[in-house]
Amino acid sequence: MALLRKEGSIHAIDEKYPDNISDSDKENIEGYALSVIQLSLASNVLCEVSTSTEETTKEL
């Protein structure tokens, strides 16, 4: 959570994006946050969760 907050990607978790943010920026934030979370998981835990890019960060 701290890394997501530091990088400005915490909005992918709470889904409270600023009103003036573009869809492209939202997509980039979502992708970055999803990657950060996946890379933070131990390999045995990562095997238990979906690594699909279709899954939202909040769902993961």
User: Total domain count for the chain?
Assistant: 1
Tell me the Ramachandran region of residue 23: left when phi exceeds 0, alpha when psi lies from -120 to 50, beta otherwise. Answer: alpha
Inside any domain, residue 30: yes
Inside any domain, residue 34: yes
Domain that holds residue 42: 2-46
Whether the full predicted model's pTM is greater than 0.85, yes or no, is no
- Per-residue pLDDT of the chain in tens (60 residues, 90 and over written 9): 888 888 888 888 888 898 999 999 999 998 898 888 888 888 887 777 765 555 677 777
Closest CA to 5 of 38, 39, 27, 36: 36
Inside any domain, residue 22: yes
Q: Are 35 and 57 in contact (CB under 8 A)?
A: no
The confidence score (pLDDT) of residue 23 equals 93
